[in-house]
Structure 1
Amino acid sequence: MKQIVSLPSTNNKEMTLEERIQQKISEVAAVANDLPAVVIVLNFQKGMTVEYMSPRGTRELGFTLEQIREMGEEYHARFFNPEDSPEQIAKVTDLINKNSDDEIASLFQQVRASKDHSWAWHLTTLKILMRDDEGKVLLTIALAFPIDPLHHVTSKVARLLEENIFLRKNYNRYGRLSERERQILKHISLGKSASESAEELFISVSTVETHRRNLKKKLGTSSFFELTQYARAFDLI
């Protein structure tokens, strides 16, 4: 791994931007091994490329820091589940746009060293670490905490994360449903018959049946399990 050497103390105004970046990374590297997390410094002016990763992280991925830095923007596609990307990009973009030292972004990420490995969940928290001379965000620092798969709450967390993924994947489909179709979907998920739904909603049975056919067509499924997934993910039940 490329050794990071602390730069001699000097006036920041006399240092180049690259020297100040290396000084900041040296400060992070000095304490990274003492933290119970993987520490990552990303350069947002180079396409969110890795400037630094603590030894714990490089060991988990099986690459040296220099190799990871050479990957450039490919780093994200190589190690992270693309299904999580939309939500992560939205949160990070919001953090950068706010450009405040008081702001943090927390997100769940699925990480794996290669296709031969299983996805492992991490809880990652980011904040701004450094800005350039114009005040634009230059570096962020992230702490990635692995979620212990043997912990008793992990299965509950995993279910919540799976539900969240389902929600993101199917948000557009669900958004096509009318308010009445959502009511019918809720009734289906609760096991109510067409006649029971008709009585409660003060509409005819044939109207209920029409709504049932339409919502199943819009959601692309007639599976009771999948319909229940929609109802649960979108807080109908």
Structure 2
Amino acid sequence: MHDSQVLIPLMEKLRQKYLPEVVVMDAGYKTPAIAHYLWGNQMEAVLPYTRPRGKEGFFTKRDFMYDAWLNAFHCPNNHLLSYVRLNREGYYLYKSNPTLCEGCTLRTECTESRVYEKSLTRHLWEADLERSEDLRHTERHKAFYKKRKETIERCFADAKEKHGMRYATYRGLAKVTLQATLTYTAMNLKKLALWTWKKSCSSSSFFILRAKNDNPVFFSFWNCRFSTV
């Protein structure tokens, strides 16, 4: 299962307790469905730049300008790709006029179609993706995306380099899930200790972690003050 397929169920779970305002993601989550869901639920979708796809030496989709008024694409030679139909995957299909394409001087850079026809698709929620693309250039969204490498990517790096998460130790979904759960629990405890130490660092003392069975566990730290958790 691709990562992007689990994002919306995860956000629904988080929204039961929190009110997310900004969601920062990498290129794997840059899909029209995710952008539509986030903007539709009053959450800003911060997405990265992705390089244009396509065959080298040919025009990319970004070289074709979409005209919302005409519901058509303008090609680099200023001809129209008209709307044809909406397919089952939620994409609008646009095609050029073969008569015009056959004698076009830019055809060798546009399409290799034997019937001299250029086709493009546009998702019905493409506007939400374009909204994120426009805001990507703002200082606000640049600052948000910069924090991603300092927080999320740092967690992944620590898990792989310091906690053996580069490879699975066990086989089977249940055992690997257990390994991941224990690993990130240990990492969270390390963060808790670090944050508490930074918050109040003065003289040496103790702090207590009380388990569910009410058996206290004591930890001593030098030159740091901790409160009961």
Pick the structure with more helix per residue: 1
Normalising TM by the smaller chain, what interval? under 0.3
Q: Larger RCO: Structure 1 or Structure 2 (Cα < 8 Å, ≥ 6 residues apart)? A: 1
Using structure 2 for the length normalisation, give the TM-score: 0.22
